[in-house]
A and B are shown apart, each in its own frame.
Chain A
Amino acid sequence: MVSIQRSSQKSYPLYFGLPAIAVFATLFLVPTITSFYYSLTNWNIHARTTEFIGLENFRRLFADKKLVAAIWHTLVYAGSVTVLRNTFGLIIAMMLNMKIRGRNVLRTVIFLPFVIAPIVIGYLFTALYHPGHGLINQLLRGCGLSFMAIDWLNDPRYALMSTILVDIWRTTGFAMVIFLAGLQLIPKELYESADLDGAGAWSRFRHVTFPLLASSLTVNMVISLIGTMKVFVMILVLTNGGPGYATQVFNTYIMSAFSIGRYGYATAANLLLFVMITVIGMPVLFVLRRREVEL
C-alpha cells in the first residue's frame, strides 16, 4: 500500500506545474516585487538615471491633497457600491425567488448589464446623465420633479454619487444571481416549521433566510469591495476624475502620474492601493481557505 502511494506520488512530475509557474511568476510576481524597489526611486521620463530616494515618493503622495481625496473617494465608492449592490441584489433575488410570472426572463434581463463592457456602460450613462436632454432628467421633469434634474456629472456635489449609481445599475444583477443560488439551497422545511411557530415575514427573513445566506453574503461583499477599489474605466469615461478632482480615485490618480512620466511616483501610489486592498482583502483569503478545508 505504502509503496503504491509513493510511486503514484512520484508519477506526478513536477514539470507539469512549470508553464503556469513561469507565466505567473514572470508577469505577476516579478512586477509586484520590483514595484517595492521602484516606489523608492525617482524613476521618471526626464531623468537619465534612476536614483534611490527612500520614502520621498510616499512623503509627496501624502502631502498631495489630490491623493488624499482619491483615497477617500475610492473608499466611499467601494463602500457605497458594495452595500447598495448587495442590498438591492438581495431584495431582487427574494422577489424573483417567489412564484411570479416570467421570472427567468426577468433574471436574464436584470443580469444583462454585467456582461456588457463597462466602457460601453460608461458612455451610455454620459448620454443618460446629459443635463439638458438626458433620459433621466427627461423622466424627472416629466414627473414634476424638476428640482431633482441636476447636472449629474458636472456638479462636484453629485458627480461621485452619479458614478456610484452607474456601477450599482451595472452589477446588481450579479449580486442577485449569487443570492438566488444561495436562496435555492435553503430547505423548504425550515420555512414550514417557521410558519408553524407563527413567524411573520420579517421574522422568517431574520431567523431563516438571512443567517443561511450569511456565507454567500460575506464572499459577495468582500469580492465586491476588492473589485470596486480597482475601479478605473468607469470613472475615466464618466468624469475623468473631475470636475476638478471631485471623483479622482486611486487608478485615475496613478494613470495621470503615469501619463506625465512620473513612473516611480505612480508605482508608489499603486503600492498604496496594493496595501489598502490587502488589508481589506485578507478576509477573502480567510473565507477561501475555510472553503478549501470544507472541500
Chain B
Amino acid sequence: MIGTRARATMWIVQIAAILIAAIVIIPFLMILLNSFKGIREAALFRLSLPTEWVFSNYVKVLSTSHIARGFANSLFICGSVVVLGNLFGAMAAFLIQRRGGRLKLLYTTFILGLILPVSIIPTIKLMMQLGIHNTYLGIILFYTATALPFTVFLLTGFLKSIPREMDEAALVEGSSFFRLFFQIIMPLISPALITVTIVVTVNTWNDFFAPFYLISDSRKWTIILQIFSFMSQYQTNWGLVFAFMVIVVSPVLIIYLVLQKHILAGLTAGSVKG
C-alpha cells in the first residue's frame, strides 16, 4: 500500500522535474531553430524546423559585426582580472590571515565591498583625472577592485586550513618569503584559486554595467557591449538576432558543459557553509 503510494509520488516528481527542465530548454531550442529561418518566418517564433534552411544569417552576422574583436577584448580583460585578482587577493589574504591583529579592520573594509554598490559616476570622474578612463587598464583595475572583496574573503577563510608551521619550517630552512608564498602557499591554495577564477570569470564575462559606463571606444567593447549595439541595430530581424545569440552563447555553453561540476561547486562555494 505504502509502496504504491511512494512509487506514484516518485513518478509525479519525475515528470514535474522533466517539465521544469523543458521550461529552461525550450527557449534555447527556439533560438537555435529560428536562427536558420528567413526574416518573415523567424518573426513567427515557431518551434518548428525551418521550411527552408537559411545559413545567410550566420554569414551576415560574422561579416557585419565585430564579434571576434569583442571576444578578444572580453578574453583579455577577463584574463587580466583573473590574474590580478588572484595574485593581489592571495597576497593580501595571506598577510591578513597570518598577522591578524589590526589587519582585521582591513578585512572588514574589504568585506564591505561585497555588499555596497559602486558609485559609478565619481568613478568615471576619477578615471578621467587619472587618465585611465576608456582604457583597458582602467576597466581591468575597476574589475579587480570589485573582485577583491570576494577573493580576500574566500582566500582568508581557506588559508586558515593551512598551518602556520608550514611557513615557519620553510623559512627556517632558509627559503625566502617570496619562495614560500609562490612555491608553497600558492599551490596549496589552488582549489580556492580555481573557485575565485570561476566566480570572477562568470561575473566579468557577463557584466554589462561597467563597460557601459566606462568604455565608449567601440574598439575596446567587450562581447556584451557588442551584443547591446548589435541588438539596437537589428532587433527587427529576428533570424539575424538569433544567429548572433547562438554564436555569442556557444563558447560559454561548451565551457559550462565541460566544466559543469567545477562551475557548480565554485559558484556556490562562497555561500553554502554559512
Contact = CB atoms under 8 A, between A and B. Distances in A.
Nearest to B145: A27
B167 A274 contact: no
Interface in A244-287: 251, 254, 258, 263, 266-267, 270-271, 273-274, 277-278, 281-282, 284-285, 287
A83 interface: no
B97 to A, nearest CB: 9
B257 interface: yes
B145 A26 contact: yes
Nearest to A226: B115
A48 interface: no
Interface stretch (B25-33, B49-57, B58-66, B189-197): B25-33
Given A181-B268, A232-B208, A270-B121, A135 B227 contact: no
Interface size of B as a range:
35 or more
Interface size of A as a range:
35 or more
A109 B142 CA distance: 33
A202 interface: no
A237 B225 CA distance: 12
A220 B271 contact: yes
A21 B96 CA distance: 12
A28 B118 contact: yes
B111 A288 contact: yes
Interface stretch (A63-71, A99-107, A204-212): A99-107
Nearest to B256: A115
A133 B45 contact: yes
A262 to B, nearest CB: 10
Contacts, number: 268
Interface in A165-206: 169, 173-174, 177-178, 181-182
A211 to B, nearest CB: 15
A284 B114 contact: yes
A19 B13 CA distance: 52
A108 B123 contact: no
A17 B92 contact: yes
B94 interface: yes
Contacts of B95: 12-14, 16-17
Nearest to B16: A95
A282 to B, nearest CB: 8
A125 B28 CA distance: 11
Contacts of B162: none
Given A105-B21, A181-B268, A267-B121, 20 more contacts: A17-B106, A19-B91, A24-B145, A31-B123, A32-B122, A100-B13, A109-B21, A112-B253, A115-B252, A115-B256, A119-B208, A120-B227, A120-B248, A133-B45, A138-B45, A178-B271, A218-B274, A287-B274, A291-B273, A295-B157
Interface of A: 4, 8-9, 11-14, 16-17, 19-21, 23-24, 26-32, 34-35, 38, 92, 95-96, 98-101, 103, 105-120, 123-128, 130, 133-135, 138, 169, 173-174, 177-178, 181-182, 215-216, 218-220, 223, 226, 229-230, 232-233, 236-237, 251, 254, 258, 263, 266-267, 270-271, 273-274, 277-278, 281-282, 284-285, 287-288, 291-292, 295
10 contacts: A11-B171, A24-B145, A31-B119, A31-B126, A32-B116, A38-B121, A135-B47, A178-B271, A258-B121, A284-B115
